[in-house]
Structure 1
């Protein structure tokens, strides 16, 4: 019963959030036609919100599948999902590699590595992308070496470069969090007992510590997903990628677009991501139940 109420509450809050998302632009309007200053127009916002709710009771306006089920939209949809899932994979692989290498560094070197990670994680996304762009441009201009295709032009969408860019900051965040969890875990009694028995650091890291931190790490998977999704908006815009975010942007710019269309487009896009998040959460709970933890 508790789970039913929980999921019902999630459904209702999701619908409320999407309704607010659709009506939010109407909350602001120019004070008068000649003014350059925005003001709050609560009446217009409530009117659009009410009209949006009323359209739910009109099944005739629910003609969203035909417009979505086209070759162009599906290609954009699959392309963006590819970028998201491979970016998530890159984030975990790169972040995990950094964290495990860090745990094998001498203690005197670890503070320097932490400072470097903190510095890189604090750099804005745009600056990092700009620096990588300048490096690749210079490499091509001076040496005629093109490592990757950066821009989506002539119907050819790049894959590797957007995935790498999209996973940079999430991988650094994941590495920082993983390092913190590993250092805390390394102070526990079972690690000290393993060291006393003569187990190597690699055995302790991969055979014992990794299994025990899975439940805690799975809790923060939502944060990694959120970072990848927000970066995707930036990456698709900056590199002229014909992805699903562009499709959503075009849909929102059409005044006559039905709210049900928007809900369907967003829901179809988020469904695989939500299923992946639930799958990772179940894995965390499975490992947590083995350890006797209530996740």
Structure 2
């Protein structure tokens, strides 16, 4: 019952946030010599937006939402997100293990390299991929990578590589940090004293203990992936879901359409939230878990 009330309260807060943010510009108006405050107009629009939500099954609502290719574009964007997230997790875990079992001098150089690449701006990576593909095509005439989403074509390889670059090093840096801190725990020292190898200790004991922290960090990774997907779809002219969302905003879509788009974008975060709760509950047994 407590969790149900908490979920309802959070949902009400989310809806209130949508109503406030979308209608905030209506409060302020610029007069001849002053800034005017229009609370009456703001509350009137808020009430109309609530009516939109309660009458969402009416044919006059979500009209612009139905005209656009929402289903196809959403499947494309979510496939980019899922493939990128899966690749990031696998590559980051394998790379972290290789770095942690490497000799100490090599490990220091590798950690410095990870810290360097993690600080590279997103836009620079996108521009570098564009420059590489275009320069390769101009030099050789060989076009083996599809870069732009023109004529309804939706590329996969370049967008996945581009959006995954920064989140990969972000997660890898986090894994190295938490594993380094975990090495000082008493159970690790006890396992080492029993003569168990470093690789086995890392794979069997340490990764299992930091798994809830990894799931929590994945929320940040997903946020970065979504922001990178928006940049890539805009700069590569790809007809993805974020581009459809921008079209709905600029064409004056109704409040129900905007809320539906935001909820669809937040679905991966809700999934990873639920996954984190289940993983933590499974590891900690019956202990209460709050992510």
Could you state the TM-score of these two structures normalised by the residue count of structure 2? 0.86
Query: 1:36 is matched with which residue?
Result: none
CA RMSD, 1 decimal: 2.8
Per the alignment, do residues 284 and 168 of structure 1 end up closer, same or farther by CA in structure 2, a change over 3 Å counting?
Answer: farther
1:35 aligned partner: none
Report the Cα offset of residue 157 of structure 1. 0.3
Q: 1:281 aligns with which of 253, 267, 277?
A: 277
| Bigger Cα displacement from structure 2, 281-290 vs 111-120 | 281-290
Aligned to 2:23: 23
Closer/same/farther in 2, CA of residues 150 and 228 from structure 1, 3 Å limit: same
Match in the other structure for 1:99: 96
Structure 1 CA distance, aligned partners of 2:77 and 2:89? 19
User: What is the total number of aligned residue pairs between the two structures?
Assistant: 287
Q: Superposition pairs for residues 57-96 of structure 1, below 5 Å?
A: 57=51, 59=54, 63=59, 64=61, 68-69=65-66, 72-96=69-93
Question: Does structure 2 conserve the Cα–Cα contact (< 8 Å) formed by 1:140 and 1:146?
Answer: yes
TM-fit CA distance, 1:244? 0.8
The answer to whether the Cα contact below 8 Å between 1:139 and 1:145 also exists between their aligned partners in 2 is yes
Q: Give the equivalent residue in structure 2 for 1:3.
A: 3
Matching residue of 2:118? 121
**Equivalent residue, structure 1, for 2:255:** 259
The counterpart of 1:179, out of the listed 170, 173, 176, is 176
Shift of the 133–2 alpha-carbon distance from structure 1 to 2, 3 Å rule, reads: same
Shift of 1:45: 7.5
Shift of 1:9: 2.4
CA–CA distance in structure 2, aligned partners of residues 96 and 202 of structure 1: 13
1:48, distance to aligned residue in structure 2 (A): 4.1
Segment drifting more, 165-174 vs 106-115: 106-115
- C-alpha distance after superposition, 1:97-150 (max 9, x if no partner): 221121022112222222222221112111121122212222222233434211
- Which residue is 1:164 aligned to? 161
Secondary structure, aligned partner of 2:211: helix
Instruction: Check 1:46–1:196 CA distance in 2 against 1; reply closer, same or farther (3 A cut).
Output: farther
Matched, 1:243 2:240: yes
Distance in 2 separating the partners of 1:103 and 1:69: 51
2:230 to 219, 233, 247: 233
Q: Does 1:151 align with 2:148?
A: yes
Residue 56 of structure 1 is matched in structure 2 by 50
